[in-house]
């Protein structure tokens, strides 16, 4: 059986990956080895009755023994270790959740329900680096990829509502701690004057009582329209990924579709949502659009454009922990017959991160 090294297994993406691999019986097909950058020698996970001891994720000698490596550790780790491994003539497959390698010419962005043909061609060509896409990009394509594949999209904007867990385990805890402090402070004021309560909460958000080490600003009772680093053109790197990665996944680098928008961190705990404005290149009936989206994969669920269905299903609460991508609020806009309004939600830790990685492992196996 192939030796598979798993790095970053105790982080947010890694934990979800392990969970999915256990559920799908993936560990029965491989000999797993678990690595850590900070806990080498300590106890790792227990899988199928076997207790694993953690190996050193910075040891090139140890990593070189692997046939396949899956890293959910993060971009800095990939930047540091991947080149050293390749320079040491390691010829195994590297599967990664981080963005560092995504735009490399000899790396493929993996989302097999949408681009299995691109993946198969890459394996055939001897490509060895396979990288999961940006979470909002992957979820957008799981929802409305069929419209791109049918060549119906002239351009698109995407306004995102991204959950705290997109930043990782520590970010989730920071949001929950902020909520706890807010709850404790509000509890004794709930029967009093609403303006006093409001003023107290505003003051609290600007005080040192609210820890903002991870997000750099309070997220509870607030939102942050900035994710990742700044680019010279005024975009954030997260916003830049929508254009560059979507077109790379679709194999359209030579003939890219314009995509842009604003990425916003909101106080959802898990699962990202986005509001899409799609300019179609011709008028298409809403019923046809809905059928196209619904039939694109077994994981898509079209949500009726009603208040009841929307409140029930078109939200992080409904999709969190499931492979479902919900697509709703599908309607023509006042802007014209070729302008489509769509809202979509999906679990960014599953299709947006862990699921394409474990599916890539299975494709290679
Ligand atoms: P994370 O939760 O911060 O975990 C990454 C690593 O941090 C862990 O594997 C662990 O490695 C270390 N760590 C340090 N303190 C920890 C703690 N208290 N709890 C758990 N782990 C701790 O990061 P992540 O969200 O999984 O992201 C990993 C990579 O996937 C990043 O490149 C990210 O951009 C990408 N990604 C994330 C998402 C998402 O929704 N979160 C989606 C798509 C892609 P050691 O054992 O080596 O110390």
pLDDT tens-digit profile of 2-38? Answer: 999 999 999 999 999 999 999 999 999 999 999 999 9
CB atoms closer than 10 angstroms to residue 117: 10
Phi/psi at 37 (nearest 5 deg)?
-85, -15
Query: 227-251 pLDDT, tens per residue?
Result: 999 999 999 999 999 999 999 999 9
**What is the three-class DSSP state of 150?**
coil
Centre of ligand 1 from the C-alpha of residue 73, in Å? 5
Task: Tell me the C-alpha distance between 61 and 78, whole Å.
Answer: 16
Mean pLDDT along residues 110-118 = 94
| Known active-site residue 272 | yes
Q: What is the pLDDT of residue 235?
A: 98
Furthest-apart CA atoms within the chain: distance in Å? 69
Find out whether 319 and 348 touch, Cβ atoms under 8 Å: no
What span, in angstroms and rounded, lies between the C-alpha atoms of 145 and 38?
A: 39
The whole-number pLDDT of residue 213 equals 97
How confident is residue 148, by pLDDT bands cut at 50, 70 and 90? Answer: very high
Atom of ligand 1 nearest to the CA of 15: 26
Mean pLDDT score, 114-130: 96
Sign for the pseudo-dihedral over CA of 175, 19, 238, 153: negative
Half-sphere exposure of 254 (CA within 13 A, CB side): 1
Buried/exposed 29-47: b ≥16 CB within 10 Å, e otherwise: ebebbbbbbeebeeebbee
> Rounded to whole angstroms, how far apart are CA atoms 73 and 6?
9
Mutate to test the pocket of ligand 1, among 9, 10, 173 (most ligand atoms within 8 A of CB): 10
Spatial CA neighbour of 19 closest among 357, 334, 250: 357
Mutational test site, ligand 1, from 5, 7, 9, 11, max ligand atoms within 8 Å of CB: 11
Marked catalytic residue, from 135, 171, 263, 315: 135
Q: Which of 9, 168, 358 to mutate to test the pocket of ligand 1 (most atoms within 8 A of CB)?
A: 168
Q: Tell me the backbone φ, ψ of residue 131, rounded to 5 degrees.
A: -125, 130
Atom number in ligand 1 closest to CA 169:
2
| Any ligand 1 atom below 6 A from CB of 36 | yes
Give the confidence band of 91 by pLDDT, cuts at 50, 70, 90.
very high
Cα 143 from chain centroid? 13
pTM: 0.94
Active site residue 315: no
Residue 281 is predicted with a pLDDT of 97
Three-state secondary structure call for residue 308: helix
| Cα within 13 Å of Cα(112), Cβ side | 17
The strand pairing partners of 265, in sequence order, are 162, 224
Question: CA nearest 26: which of 306, 362, 335, 363?
Answer: 362
What mean pLDDT is predicted for residues 36-61? 97
Q: Is the CB of 168 under 6 A from ligand 1?
A: yes
Residue 273: per-residue pLDDT: 98
Percent of the chain with pLDDT over 70: 100
- pLDDT value of residue 111: 96
Tokens found for residue 183: 């709850």
């Amino acid at each position: 059986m192939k030796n598979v090294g798993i790095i970053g297994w105790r982080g947010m993406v890694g934990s979800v990956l392990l969970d999915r691999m256990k559920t799908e019986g993936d560990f029965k097909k491989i000999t797993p080895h678990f690595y850590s950058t900070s806990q080498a020698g300590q106890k790792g996970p227990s899988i199928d009755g076997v207790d694993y001891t953690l190996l050193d994720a910075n040891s090139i000698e140890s990593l070189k023994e692997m046939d396949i490596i899956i890293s959910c550790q993060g971009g800095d780790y990939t930047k540091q270790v991947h080149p050293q491994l390749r320079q040491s003539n390691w010829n195994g497959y590297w599967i990664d959740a981080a963005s560092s390698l995504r735009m490399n010419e000899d790396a493929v962005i993996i989302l097999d329900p949408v681009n299995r043909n691109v993946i198969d061609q890459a394996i055939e060509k001897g490509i060895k680096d396979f990288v999961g896409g940006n979470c909002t990009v992957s979820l957008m394509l799981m929802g409305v990829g069929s419209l791109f594949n049918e060549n119906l999209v002239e351009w698109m904007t995407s306004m995102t509502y991204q959950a705290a867990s997109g930043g990782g385990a520590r970010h989730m805890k920071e949001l929950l701690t902020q909520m706890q402090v807010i709850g404790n402070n509000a509890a004794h004021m709930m029967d009093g004057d609403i303006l006093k309560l409001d003023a107290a909460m505003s003051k609290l958000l600007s005080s040192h009582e609210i820890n903002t080490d991870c997000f750099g600003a309070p997220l509870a009772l607030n939102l942050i329209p900035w994710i990742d680093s700044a680019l010279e053109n005024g975009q954030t790197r997260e916003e830049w990924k929508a254009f560059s990665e979507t077109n790379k996944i679709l194999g359209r680098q030579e003939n890219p579709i314009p995509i842009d928008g604003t990425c916003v961190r909101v106080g959802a705990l898990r699962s990202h949502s986005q509001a899409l404005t799609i300019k179609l290149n011709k008028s298409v009936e809403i019923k046809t659009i809905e059928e196209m989206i619904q039939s694109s994969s077994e994981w898509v669920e079209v949500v009726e454009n009603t208040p009841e269905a929307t409140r029930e299903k078109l939200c992080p609460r409904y999709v969190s922990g499931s492979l479902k991508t919900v697509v709703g609020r599908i309607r023509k806009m006042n802007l014209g017959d070729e302008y489509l309004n769509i809202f979509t939600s999906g679990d960014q830790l599953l299709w947006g991160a862990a699921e394409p990685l474990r599916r890539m492992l299975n494709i290679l196996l």
